[in-house]
Amino acid sequence: MTSATKKTGAHEHYRLTHLKALEAEAIHIMREVAAQFEKPALMFSGGKDSIVMVRLAQKAFRPAKFPFPLLHIDTGHNFPEALDFRDKMVDEIGERLIIHKVQDLIDRGDAVEDPGPFPSRNRAQIPTLLDAIEKYQFDALFGGARRDEEKARAKERIFSFRDDFGQWDPKNQRPELWNLYNGRSRMGENIRVFPISNWTEMDVWQYIMLEQIEIPDLYFSHKRDVVERRGQLVPIGDAPFGPRDGETVLNKTVRFRTVGDMSCTAATNSPASNLEEIVAEVAAARASERGARIDDKTNEAAMEDRKKEGYF
């Protein structure tokens, strides 16, 4: 930051912008995990938050390689664009990617897709993730979740402990003081670590802009086939993501504010085609980011319940 290092006063000289302060905190957390754990992994989905996490890992560990692999829980419901981006990026940064597929667990009978009018593989991610943890013996997983996303997350620690069943107990969290993180765990326990806990959606976008980080085109406005379903614009793709009976396919100019599964991510009407326009749009937005996640609308404590079961 050139403007921050210009000499304008005794302490102004060392002024740190909020983004640089958040970056410093995230780097510190990543290095703590690398030092305190044997087998960490970084959860990577191809979404903007996990892309920012990769950039932060580069800041923490370059010019060396990451001391952990990337892990993608592939639901089989991903946007093809997100998968293409994932593969291209992993190739460019030269890091190891482990892909663990929900479909494999479904085929084995170890996970089931949620039936009903809105088939979702959200819950099927939980056993898949736990299966990956067991197979690769991961003891710590980095996630890109933020506390501003949801009320239960607002109370979750940066080092979030899970028991043998991957469960989160909100009433039994370790105190977390200063920048001291206690990663001691017993066999079978593992932790989820959220280095960008203190970032907001706006911070993530600003950081992407500041660092000129490449993100999938899905985030920028484009023409896409959608249907209106329960008041939301749902993307239409190949089966099983085709239109339902009575639905009319519309070709609209949309973008995605958040990128999850095709089955549970709604598009927003938006002409924003570059980062500056997205930042302006986020600043003016009157609906939360998770409002575009159909899966959180089920009930008031939806996220809290999923986290208790082992969800991220």
Partner 1 sequence: MATETTSKTDFSTDPNANKGMDFSTDAYLDMDLLRFLTCGSVDDGKSTLIGRLLYDSKSIFEDQLEAAESASLSRGDQRMDLALLTDGLRAEREQGITIDVAYRYFATPKRKFIIADCPGHTQYTRNMVTGASTANLALILIDARHGVIEQTRRHSFITSLLRIPHLVVCVNKMDLVDWSEETYDKIREEFEEFAARFEITDITFIPMSALTGDNVVNRSENMDWYQGTSLLHHLEHVHIAGDRDMIDPRFPVQWVVRPQGDEHHDYRGYGGQIASGVFQVGDEVVALPSGMESKIKSIDIGGDSQQMASPPMSVSIQLEDDIDISRGDMLCRPNNQPTSGQDIDAMVVWMAETPMKVGKKYTIRHTSNEARCIVKNLNYQLDIQTLHRIEEAQELKLNEIGRISIRTTKPLFFDPYRQCRVTGSFIIVDEQTNNTVGAAMIIGETN
Query: In whole angstroms, how close is the CB of 101 to partner 1 at the nearest point?
Result: 30
Segment interacting with partner 1, rule: CB under 8 A, options 5-13, 38-46, 99-107, 223-231: 5-13
Q: If DSSP codes are grouped into helix, strand and coil, which group holds residue 152? A: coil
The closest alpha carbon to 83, from 221, 241, 262, belongs to 262
Q: Which two tokens stand for residue 60?
A: 């923490």
Q: Which two tokens stand for residue 7?
A: 């000499």
Which 180-219 positions form the footprint of partner 1 (CB under 8 A)? 180-182, 184-186, 197-198, 200, 202-203, 206, 209-210
Query: In whole angstroms, how close is the CB of 160 to partner 1 at the nearest point?
Result: 12
The closest alpha carbon to 52, from 179, 283, 210, belongs to 210
Query: In whole angstroms, how close is the CB of 106 to partner 1 at the nearest point?
Result: 30
Which 100-139 positions form the footprint of partner 1 (CB under 8 A)? none
Segment interacting with partner 1, rule: CB under 8 A, options 52-60, 112-120, 212-220, 259-267: 52-60
Rounded Cα–Cα distance for residues 307 and 295 (Å) = 13
Which 140-179 positions form the footprint of partner 1 (CB under 8 A)? 147-148, 151-155, 170-171, 173-179
Residue whose token pair is 């943890």: 133
Q: Which two tokens stand for residue 236?
A: 């239409």
Q: Provide the b/e sequence for 148-165 (b: ≥16 CB within 10 Å).
A: bbbebbeebbbbbbbeee
Site membership for partner 1, residue 78 (CB under 8 A): no
Which 20-39 positions form the footprint of partner 1 (CB under 8 A)? 20-25, 27-28, 31-32, 34-35
Query: In whole angstroms, how close is the CB of 194 to partner 1 at the nearest point?
Result: 11
Residue whose CB is less far from partner 1, 108 or 155:
155
Residue whose token pair is 């009903």: 116
Residue whose CB is less far from partner 1, 214 or 276:
276
Segment interacting with partner 1, rule: CB under 8 A, options 37-45, 60-68, 130-138, 216-224: 60-68
Enumerate long-range contacts of 78-82, CB under 8 Å, 24 or more apart.
Answer: 78/46, 78/261, 78/262, 79/216, 79/218, 79/235, 79/237, 79/259, 79/262, 79/265, 80/237, 81/216, 81/217, 81/218, 82/45, 82/46, 82/47, 82/216, 82/218, 82/259
Site membership for partner 1, residue 88 (CB under 8 A): no
Which 234-293 positions form the footprint of partner 1 (CB under 8 A)? 276, 279-280, 283, 285-288, 291
Residue whose token pair is 């010019």: 63
Residue whose token pair is 């806990």: 197
Site membership for partner 1, residue 98 (CB under 8 A): no
Query: In whole angstroms, how close is the CB of 121 to partner 1 at the nearest point?
Result: 24
Residue whose CB is less far from partner 1, 14 or 165:
14
Site membership for partner 1, residue 49 (CB under 8 A): no
Cβ–Cβ contacts within 10 Å for residue 189, how many?
13
Site membership for partner 1, residue 93 (CB under 8 A): no
Site membership for partner 1, residue 6 (CB under 8 A): yes
The closest alpha carbon to 297, from 120, 34, 170, belongs to 120
Q: Are strands 97-101 and 70-74 parallel, antiparallel or unpaired?
A: parallel
Query: In whole angstroms, how close is the CB of 271 to partner 1 at the nearest point?
Result: 17
Site membership for partner 1, residue 96 (CB under 8 A): no
Segment interacting with partner 1, rule: CB under 8 A, options 18-26, 40-48, 103-111, 250-258: 18-26
